[in-house]
Amino acid sequence: MNIHLKLGWLWLVMAAVVVPLQVHAEHEGKMQVLLLGDSTTEGIIPRKTHPQGPHLEEVIRILLAAEKDLPPCNVINVGRSGEYVRGLLDGARYDRDVAKHPGLDYVFIRYGINDHNKREDFEANYVKDYQELIGRLRKDHPQATLVVTTVIPYMDEATSEKINALNREVAEKEKLPLFDLYPRYAEELKKQGPNALNYRRFPPEQIPADRQELVKSFLVKHGDTDRVVVMDNQLDAHFAHLPNWFGDRHPNLAGYHVIGDETAKWLAKTIREKSKK
């Protein structure tokens, strides 16, 4: 066998070793991951205060790219503030924003917070709604791995556990993987402090008159109203005593890094396990 033929065979063997993972993406070799959920997935306020990011989908992509044995990854965030499963199914958004994405490999689904607040007879209907969504996703994205995800500690512990028990029920009934995000987020809150991972969003008219100058650079328009929005503890020294200063529990940039880090770890492990089968 001449040297050129030997090199050709060596190249084929190396290619088989370096790229062992099958993906179904529209673009050769780029894994497609869809993030589907509510405002705690979308992160609309951090996108306004820090448009440069990195935001949740970028955090996941960057962390996966650092794992050299994994294929390049495209992470698409289609979260929507205020959304719940029944609302997604009954509106036009599913067909517009979810059904037509080509070549999806993974779909992370994270609902329950708004469902608890908006869906009538929540405990009876949530699992049924979720199963209907899974049916549509399986029809539209038959090759994708659908991942049921637990909610973060947005509500009190008892309510969160009630929602996540139903999420676990869905995963079990539909024989889907469960990505349990709640424990890591709760652990980080214990380590970093109860308000370390949520931003402060507060009506400016409730700021004392002699402190208005301090908040001018923190005003963010959301809809038709302005709100004081602080991504961290910068202004806690002045306003922590105000009722409901810590009332908004949506993740800040640090919170999304926790979610992104845990998601990337789970996904990297799952991809590697699949490659061994």
Per-residue pLDDT of the chain (277 residues; tens, 9 = 90+): 454 444 444 434 443 343 444 444 444 578 999 999 999 999 999 999 999 999 999 999 999 999 999 999 999 999 999 999 999 999 999 999 999 999 999 999 999 999 999 999 999 999 999 999 999 999 999 999 999 999 999 999 999 999 999 999 999 999 999 999 999 999 999 999 999 999 999 999 999 999 999 999 999 998 889 999 999 999 999 999 999 999 999 999 999 999 999 999 999 999 999 888 7
Which CATH fold topology does 22-198+252-275 show? Answer: Rossmann fold (3.40.50)
Domain ranges of the chain: 22-198+252-275, 199-248
What pLDDT is recorded for position 82?
97
- Residue 35 to residue 259: CA distance in whole angstroms: 12
What pLDDT is recorded for position 224?
86
Q: Residue with structure tokens 């880090």? A: 261
Q: Residue with structure tokens 């993406």? A: 25
Mapping DSSP to helix (H, G, I), strand (E, B) and coil, where does residue 159 land? helix
- The DSSP 8-state label assigned to residue 251 in this structure reads B
- Residue 11 to residue 8: CA distance in whole angstroms: 5
Angle at 232 between CA 231 and CA 236, to 5 degrees: 120
What pLDDT is recorded for position 267?
98
What pLDDT is recorded for position 78?
98
- Residue 263 to residue 120: CA distance in whole angstroms: 31
Q: Are strands 145-149 and 106-110 parallel, antiparallel or unpaired?
A: parallel
| For helices 182-192 and 253-275, angle between their N-to-C axes, nearest 10 degrees | 140
The residue count of the chain comes to 277
Where are the extended beta strands (E) located within 29-122?
31-37, 73-77, 106-110
pTM (2 d.p.): 0.89
What pLDDT is recorded for position 214?
98
Q: Residue with structure tokens 């980080």? A: 188
What pLDDT is recorded for position 161?
98
Alpha carbon 233 to chain centroid, angstroms = 23
Closest CA to 34 of 77, 81, 69: 77
Closest CA to 45 of 230, 233, 188, 204: 230
Q: Residue 165 carries which side chain, given as an amino acid letter?
A: A
